[in-house]
Chains A and B, each alone.
Chain A
Amino acid sequence: MALIEIRNLHASVDGKEILKGIDLVIEPGQAHAIMGPNGAGKSTLSNVIAGRPGYEVTQGSVTYLGKDLLALEPEARACEGIFLAFQYPVEIPGVATTTFLKTALNAHRKYRGEGELDAMQFLKLVREKTRALGIGDDKLRRPLNVGFSGGEKKRNEVLQMSMLEPRLALLDETDSGLDIDALKVVAEGVNALRSPERSFLIITHYQRLLDYIVPDFVHVLADGRIARSGGKELALELESRGYAEFTGAAA
């Protein structure tokens, strides 16, 4: 069974149609990259999958592990294993990063019928993950993302992903804003999670990321549709030729 199956997906924001018929099937273990011009609808697609309010699906279906994903609330989708790494992670003053991590992790455990982790177990887990991602302990004590640099926020997203161990990770430009070393660290974090059950949808503008996280497929999303799909070599081709042929076709 496919992990996620998206059929003829149309979605609007504020009455404006952004997704105009997306078809995409991701099997367990696969990594798919999505590239495409600004404003094409890449983030919209990831938000629709995650269930952001205000994004109205007008046609089509999304089936996740055989279930109608669109019928689920965002928190249920998250607990069912869908993780969206935000293009613009939100700053939340007054909520310490650790408190947030613990609340999120325990929400997942509760959903699965497991007991909450105690403080010691949680601390051990979070230490292990932060160390692997080169995140300092001081960040954990600080309010979530407040005063974090762009790159630090992205690392923090990957930390949350590695804590929550999703089945399907949607990475929306997780590479933008990362310096060269951070990019490697983050890619290693992602690769460490790759497994035959876990799949990735990687939205990026840069082929460089795909040198580290090698995708099985690359798609071009332009004007709300998948205009072309191919293997990882498509990313190289796009790097040299740009999106002119797709935006031209759309105009």
Chain B
Amino acid sequence: MDTLPFIDRHAEALARLGGPGWIADLRRTGLERYRALGLPTQRDEAWKYTSLSALKKIAFAPAFLAAAPSFDGLPALGGSMAGEACRFVMVNGRFAPALSSLGDLPPGIGVSSLAAMMRDEPDALEALVARLYPAEGQPLANLNAAYLDDGVVIRIAAGASLGKPVHVVSLCGAGLAPLMCHPRLLIVAEAGSTAAVVESRLGFGGGSTLCNVVTDVVVEDEATLGHYVLQKGSDDNRLLSSTRVDVRAGGLYESFALHVGGVLARNEVQVLLGAERAECRVNGAYAVSGSQHLDNTIRIDHAVPRTTSRQTFKGVLDDRGRGVFQGGILVRRNAQQTDGQQMHKALLLSRGAEVDCKPELEIYADDVKCGHGATAGELDEDAMFFLRARGLDPETARGLLIEAFLDDVIEQIGNLTVREVFKGVVAEWLTRRKVAIKETRGTP
């Protein structure tokens, strides 16, 4: 079985990591399972279009063995987002109190570092972890467990309502030596609560990094959770993200992943709709250029009657950029009156760009409403000429049309603050693209 060859060198260091005995057990089981499963290969159906083989050639060292990075720009990168309730910053998977601001959290919201909880509240943590979706068959989630060290735990108490989003900033960067980190996020939205969490996954520095993040989410009865992820890695950042969500009766999980940077990224989301009226919206937008590769793999498990899911993704692909969308909808035998829809739309800006789209509908109930759709196309030439005939240069015209293409999916973001922030990120990506094009053409 192919694993990451260098992990053997870390066994001793892993054994020395702190925490209560049951955490050590978790790590050990994680490592055993990961070894048994191996690194995913393209022979695995779930990894058909994304290769991790390049990872084996880079000797990533765990961040906890390296000195904390010094980078002048860090405070600015971990800077605040307009309208956030608090900011929890991690650098290479470890809580960075100096960059964070956890000041006046509204009542009913707890935001703590996982390492602090292992130390100070091990019993509370154990109780939370016991509620999670099991990860037996998932190599990357098990690899994450093997290296379990730090992360963030967000608890929203029953009935609490938080208007402003909790902002988690995860900064990844390395100097000369390649680094990896395996942060763990745990979000528990208790019954009847309403909250929003924004995760900004950002890159810094020039070195190679691998971030293998696992996010566990529980949305209890009648709770509503908005979970918004911004991925803006730098050129040598690789991001593997596994999000596992359990939505209980009448709960709503609404997520949006906006990806605008990083050489390789996999955004895997699994949602269990395991109680009646559970609902999820798993949406996203992305822009890839250069030789970036982004894989969105979603799997919704409609396990009981009367649950609803939506998946809408839109991508803009430039240069030799590659996009993958695997949208799975599983409707179990008794899950009558399931309503599950998915859509992927790609806009190809160059001939070298490529998109692979694989809907996977497995339907074992007969009274269901399920559908999927996919389109891939280029910019509309008539619209381009129309805009140019009104005086817009081709790049401005293209930018306007790209923004317009992404607009309707971004409009679906439920939290208005986040919607505006994400729109700004898209606008900024377009500006960077325009500048890059001008530079390569050598025009002023």
Which A residues form the contact surface with B (CB < 8 A)?
50-53, 73-75, 77-79, 83-84, 86, 89-90, 92-95, 99-100, 103-104, 107-108, 111, 143, 160, 164
Contacts and interface: CB of A to CB of B under 8 A. Distances in A.
Nearest to B385: A52
B389 interface: yes
A15 B155 CA distance: 68
A10 to B, nearest CB: 21
Interface in B278-299: none
Nearest to A85: B389
Nearest to B380: A90
Contacts of B385: 52-53, 74
Given A94-B407, A100-B400, A84 B389 contact: yes
Contact of A103 (B383, B392, B405, B406): B392
28 contacts: A53-B385, A74-B388, A75-B388, A75-B389, A75-B393, A75-B394, A77-B389, A78-B390, A84-B389, A86-B389, A92-B386, A92-B387, A92-B401, A93-B408, A94-B406, A94-B407, A100-B387, A103-B392, A103-B396, A104-B387, A104-B391, A107-B390, A107-B391, A107-B392, A107-B393, A111-B391, A143-B404, A160-B390
Contacts of A94: 403-408
Nearest to B393: A75
B401 to A, nearest CB: 7
Nearest to B382: A90
B12 interface: no
A9 to B, nearest CB: 19
B8 interface: no
B389 A50 contact: yes
B381 interface: yes
Contacts of B386: 86, 89-90, 92
Nearest to B402: A94
Given A95-B400, A100-B400, A103-B400, A90 B383 contact: yes
Contacts of B389: 50-52, 74-75, 77-78, 83-84, 86
Interface residues of B, number: 24
A83 to B, nearest CB: 8
Interface of B: 380-383, 385-394, 396-397, 400-401, 403-408
Contacts of B405: 94
A77 B387 CA distance: 12
Contacts of B400: 95, 99-100, 103
Main secondary structure of the interface of B (DSSP, over half): helix
Given A53-B381, A90-B382, A104 B404 contact: no
Contacts of A100: 387, 390, 400
Contacts, number: 73
Contacts of A73: 388
Contacts of B382: 90
A160 B408 CA distance: 25
Interface centre among B383, B390, B407, by most chain A C-beta atoms within 10 angstroms, is B390
B4 to A, nearest CB: 43
Given A51-B389, A53-B381, A78-B388, 5 more contacts: A52-B389, A75-B394, A92-B383, A94-B405, A107-B390
Nearest to A80: B391
Contacts of B388: 51, 73-75, 78
A153 to B, nearest CB: 11
A163 to B, nearest CB: 10
B426 to A, nearest CB: 12
B245 to A, nearest CB: 29
A89 B390 CA distance: 12
A43 to B, nearest CB: 13
B408 A107 contact: no
A1 B403 CA distance: 43
Contacts of A107: 390-393, 396
A167 B355 CA distance: 45
A143 B403 CA distance: 13
A99 B405 CA distance: 15
Nearest to B404: A94
B395 to A, nearest CB: 10
Given A75-B388, A78-B389, A84-B389, A92 B404 contact: yes
A95 B404 contact: yes
Contacts of A108: 391
Interface centre among B388, B389, B407, by most chain A C-beta atoms within 10 angstroms, is B389
Contacts of A77: 389
B404 A164 contact: no
Nearest to A84: B389
A150 to B, nearest CB: 16
A75 B404 contact: no
A163 B281 CA distance: 42
Contacts of B392: 75, 103-104, 107
B392 to A, nearest CB: 5
Interface centre among B388, B397, B408, by most chain A C-beta atoms within 10 angstroms, is B388
Nearest to A170: B389
Given A53-B381, A86-B386, A90-B382, A79 B404 contact: no
B79 to A, nearest CB: 27
Contact of A93 (B391, B396, B404): B404
Top 3 nearest A-B pairs by Cβ distance?
Answer: A94-B404, A94-B407, A107-B391
Interface centre among A74, A78, A104, by most chain B C-beta atoms within 10 angstroms, is A74
Contacts of B393: 75, 107
A73 B408 CA distance: 31
Nearest to A101: B390
A90 B397 CA distance: 14
Nearest to A106: B391
Nearest to B386: A90
Nearest to B397: A75
Contacts of A86: 386, 389
A52 B381 CA distance: 10
A157 to B, nearest CB: 10
Nearest to B407: A94
A193 B387 CA distance: 22
Given A90-B383, A92-B383, A164 B408 contact: no
